[in-house]
Amino acid sequence: MWKRALLYGGLGLAALACAGFGYLSLRSPNYLPAETVQVRMTPETIKRGEYIFTVMADCDGCHSERDLSKFSLPVVPRGRGKGWQFPSELGLPGQVVAGNITPDVETGIGAWTDGDKIRAIREGVSRNGRPLFPMMPYQAYAKMSDTDVQALVAYMNTLPAIRNPLPETKLNFPVNYLIAGSPAPSRNVANADRNSKLEWGKYLVTMGGCAGCHTPEEKGERLPGKLLAGGAAFTVGKYKVVSANITPDPDTGIGKMGEAEFVERFHQYRKYLQDGPPATTAENFTLMPWLSFAQIPAEDLSAIYAYLRTVPPVNNPAETHPTK
């Protein structure tokens, strides 16, 4: 996740030593122009897009206003898509701003074509050709099918426009040069096969960004052999939470958790969607998007569970709410 930002700092020095500033500054990335598409605005596509935005890919997680005083930081509906500037305490390499992605013409993306939006989401190129900082998970969304990304854009086109001027992302040297190589074309992506439980589960795990939070990192780089093994710590203000081990390891992961228990682990939070979530405390503080993911149907959770059973078990004790 955002800790990955540190990677670019470390890489920077090595790359500079090898390549020198001249090469980096002269290299001009050759991104494909945005496709000419106009998404279908039907009730079905908009509904599917809303599901991807608010539940499965949790775009809300970074682009919407959240209520930090409540469990799992629910979205403030009036602030959906208005964007926000990450606080400098997070140690990001510069000023990082998840932009206003509402259809406001001046301060949002209302003047963008549908093709511009799809290119930004799957390929990491802003409308003006600027490479996006890969904290925006476009490297995962690159796998989003044409059908899904078009549905997503259809929904985004229906968001109420919110006027919210934000500064542009300004990354420090040398990260600003290094990320020029991160965007990559992704065109003509077929639908994942819903009838293959494992393929579908893998697709959902990719869209849900599970590995981004559940894989421990060092200096911003995912630790080899620790995929989904938990132990990544997140500090927000006075609160701290550590991601859980969700590999099938029986002792430290979810190896002993049956499928029904797994589904219930998510669906138990449906009560908060109805009654409102409780206040944030040190014991319940979490960044796991429980309020979004509680809405995933049992069938999809079952596919996610099936896929997670196939990742290598890793013995890695991860205490989610350390007491000391």
R_g of the chain computed on alpha carbons: 20
Evaluate whether 133 touches 1 at the Cβ level (below 8 Å): no
Q: Does 174 bind ligand HEC (CB under 6 A)?
A: no
Choices 16-24, 185-193, 241-249, 270-278 (CB under 6 A): range interacting with ligand HEC: 241-249
Q: Which of residues 22 and 63 has its CB atom nearest to ligand HEC in the complex?
A: 63
Q: Which of residues 20 and 33 has its CB atom nearest to ligand HEC in the complex?
A: 33
Evaluate whether 102 touches 161 at the Cβ level (below 8 Å): yes
Q: Does 159 bind ligand HEC (CB under 6 A)?
A: no
Q: Does 320 bind ligand HEC (CB under 6 A)?
A: yes
CA 281 – CA 242 distance, rounded (Å)? 15
DSSP for 195-207, please give it: TSHHHHHHHHHHH
Give the list of residues 6+ apart from residue 288 with CB closer than 8 angstroms, or none: 72, 213, 241, 243, 244
Q: Does residue 234 sit in helix, strand or coil?
A: strand
Select the residue interacting with ligand HEC from 118, 154, 246, 311 (CB under 6 A). 246
Give the residue from 73, 81, 86, 53 showing the smallest Cα distance to 164.
Answer: 81
Q: Which of residues 17 and 72 has its CB atom nearest to ligand HEC in the complex?
A: 72
**Pairing mode, strands 84-85 and 97-98:** antiparallel
Evaluate whether 45 touches 114 at the Cβ level (below 8 Å): no
Select the residue interacting with ligand HEC from 208, 216, 248, 313 (CB under 6 A). 208
62 to 81, contacts with ligand HEC by CB under 6 A?
62-63
Q: Does 98 bind ligand HEC (CB under 6 A)?
A: yes
Choices 18-26, 35-43, 94-102, 272-280 (CB under 6 A): range interacting with ligand HEC: 94-102
Q: Does 154 bind ligand HEC (CB under 6 A)?
A: no
Q: Does 151 bind ligand HEC (CB under 6 A)?
A: no
Select the residue interacting with ligand HEC from 118, 304, 311, 314 (CB under 6 A). 304
CA 307 – CA 287 distance, rounded (Å)? 22
CA 204-191-295 angle, to 5 degrees, is 35
Evaluate whether 243 touches 213 at the Cβ level (below 8 Å): yes
Select the residue interacting with ligand HEC from 73, 154, 205, 291 (CB under 6 A). 205
Choices 5-13, 22-30, 242-250, 269-277 (CB under 6 A): range interacting with ligand HEC: 242-250
Residue 114, H or E segment? helix 114-123
- Give the x-and-dash track for 16-55 against ligand HEC (CB under 6 A): ----------------------------------------
112 to 141, contacts with ligand HEC by CB under 6 A?
117, 120-121, 126, 132-133, 135-137, 141
Residue 45 Cβ, how far from ligand HEC at the closest point, in Å?
Answer: 14
Evaluate whether 160 touches 108 at the Cβ level (below 8 Å): no
- The DSSP 8-state label assigned to residue 54 in this structure reads I
Q: Which of residues 24 and 61 has its CB atom nearest to ligand HEC in the complex?
A: 61
Select the residue interacting with ligand HEC from 64, 176, 286, 292 (CB under 6 A). 286
State residue 101 phi and psi, 5-degree precision. -110, 25
Residue 242, H or E segment? strand 239-242
Residues at the interface with ligand HEC (CB under 6 A): 1, 57-59, 61-63, 96-99, 101, 109, 117, 120-121, 126, 132-133, 135-137, 141, 152, 169, 205, 208-210, 212-214, 241, 243-244, 246, 254, 265, 286-289, 304, 320
